[in-house]
Amino acid sequence: MADHSEHEEFTELPDLSEFLREDPYLVPYQEDLCRRYQLFTERLSKLEEAEGSFDNFTRSYMFYGVQRQANNSLMFREWAPGAQALFLTGDFNDWNRTSHPYTKKEYGKWELCLPPKSNKSPAIEHETKLKLVVLTSEGEELFRISPWAKYCHKHVDSNTYDWIHWDPVRPCLHQHTRPKRPRSLRIYEAHVGIASPAEEIATYTNFTLNVLPKIKDLGYNCVQLMAIMEHAYYGSFGYQVTNFFAASSRFGTPEDLKRLVDTAHSLGITVLLDVVHSHASSNTADGLNKFDGTESCFFHSGARGQHPQWGSRLFNYQSWEVLRFLLSNLRWWMEEYRFDGFRFDGVSSMLYHHHGIAMSFSGGYSEYFGMQVDEDSIIHLMLSNHILHALYPDCITIAEDVSGMPGLCKSVKNGGLGFDYRLNMAVPDKWIQILKELKDEEWDMGNIVYTLTNRRKGEACICYAESHDQALVGDKSLAFWLMDKEMYTNMSSLIAMTPVIDRGIQLHKMIRLLTHALGGEGYLNFMGNEFGHPEWLDFPRKGNGESYKYARRQYNLLDPDNNLRYTQLYAFDRDMNLTEDKYGWLASQKVLMTTADEKDKVIVFERANVMFVFNFHPSNSYSDYRIAAGPSGKYRIKLDSDAEQYGGHGRLDTDTEFFTEQEPFKGVNDQWQPHSLKVYIPCRTALVLANEELDYCY
């Protein structure tokens, strides 16, 4: 439920004391941080003064578009400041282009009221096809879709989408409350359309019935749904949005999506939407582009309104009505569909006028301040986060930013932009680089640890070994980098592992566990990668003969009757998540690194009073290997990547007890630990050890 106690007092200046203490390099940029904050408070004050409250302002989806009144009359409202006239047409009036004109109001707004029929039913029935007719200043008639359309659909023989009036007699009602916000966020990144082994577009219903139970079984407590906002081009992966308030009709109806979210909530799974407010499709007939016949309705005009790489349109975040549209869009997905938060796509593109193009982002602080920074976008993101967290205290917001902008995940009051998490995008790049360029014996333990732990203090990260980016055609997943073509012939569990398969399976588990345990405060996995999904991801297009062969996830590989080793990787991923669920290392801020041995290829650290031991050496196993211990007492193995059920060699007895000794251990950075213990670590093995004498409730 939304918490509508929205009013929050803001001081004249932000409290930067903690921010500057954690990062003294920001001291020269205090004025920049204060200016951003003041621009935010000014914008928020003006909004509340003009609109009454941001609660009302962000519910504008209840005013614009089509609204059925209590007497079943239909009220249509649009904002089209560049139009000379506006008309409604469709099946209801035999597509007469001018019989139903809108009335022009102030500030570029238009209004039309249709009284009910003689039988008191609405003048336009559910699932009626509609269009707007926009008369431009040049006298041209343009067919358009309402920006507030709740459902759009493309007929099989059509090139563009149609606006479908969606007003079911019995709408789906949510039965289950939102789950409590997880302390440890374990995200399953998913695309509904590819969530089936079949060479076709899968549905919301398929996802509800067949994928959500897998997500629950795997121990993920959050699903992040991609490509939900309607997009005309399937191959855009949902990142070229045409209709911002419409759930993609490729996968089913709005009611089907509501049932999906409600079912996820019944399983205790939080649901995030991959929201795209960084740009919009350049489509005109079924998108926002040139909605009123001008370039500058929702977007900047000229070069500033065009993304030079993506070929898409860029929003004018300073526009009052654009602000209304985008903030209301966030509320719509939270209220109508009951999403629990958002992963904001393309944040790096929003933050800078150069959109991150040809930028390496060396970490120099001058990169984050100055004329290259788009302060309109920054203020918009601050408003988005403030409003979401004020109305929905448990709402989760994640920023996709490659630049490392300081304060991205600091609260607005403390000088930040207000996100809860940022994606740690350097980690998957590091793993791919290692697999492409280095032999196993050349792996640099210190560099791996540095990459996994190099994040801004006090700003939470979502870490991942691979996401959808690595699965796309032109790249390879970790499993494919490790095992390549042998995945087609040698994954049977009925035959001995070849050296390639053996190496691939062991390293696949170790890489994912190390990333999970050390890389951030949340963890993300792209669907199918948990079991080493073979091949790449490629949507239907002319270049592949419009084929769906690679636009699917082959969950059928997990069928026990197939006797394939994918089930072993699946089992490890499940038990890795369940082990985290018990001990809660993602929620623990403190990590004590004690070993990063280049010669032995061993990494050891403690987090949440749990010991993590990794031996990456391709051939050397170590008996009685001394490692630093946390609290004194008896330790036992809680997760062993070498266990046979995970495709390992079963070289360890999980019932073995390890007792700490009063022998100090000199760890990383010459830090002495008072206790240590000896363990046997087989080559290419990862262990999780827990103290049997501690209470791990977190």
Cβ–Cβ < 8 Å for 487, 550 = no
**For residues 382 and 379, what is the distance between their CA atoms, to the nearest angstrom?**
5
Q: Which of 400, 521, 538, 573 is catalytic?
A: 400
**For residues 540 and 548, what is the distance between their CA atoms, to the nearest angstrom?**
6
Tell me which residue has tokens 């301040």: 369
Question: How many C-beta atoms lie closer than 10 Å to residue 362's C-beta?
Answer: 8
Q: Is 345 a catalytic residue?
A: yes
Rg for the chain, CA atoms, rounded: 27
**For residues 511 and 448, what is the distance between their CA atoms, to the nearest angstrom?**
10
Q: Which of 345, 374, 401, 521 is catalytic?
A: 345
Q: State the angle between helix axes of 426-437 and 445-453 in degrees (0 to 180), rounded to the nearest 10.
A: 160
**For residues 511 and 572, what is the distance between their CA atoms, to the nearest angstrom?**
12
Q: Is 400 a catalytic residue?
A: yes
Question: How many C-beta atoms lie closer than 10 Å to residue 248's C-beta?
Answer: 25
User: Alpha helices, DSSP H only, in 62-186?
Assistant: none
Cβ–Cβ < 8 Å for 587, 637 = no
CA angle 332/333/338 to nearest 5° reads 115
Question: How many C-beta atoms lie closer than 10 Å to residue 174's C-beta?
Answer: 15
State the Cα torsion 167-168-170-174 to the nearest 10°: -70
State which H helix or E strand residue 567 sits in.
helix 566-583
Tell me which residue has tokens 């006797």: 563
Using CA atoms, how far residue 654 sits from 429, 500, 612, 638, 644, in Å, is 34, 26, 15, 8, 11
State the Cα torsion 117-123-127-128 to the nearest 10°: 120
Amino acid at 291: F
Q: List active site positions.
A: 345, 400
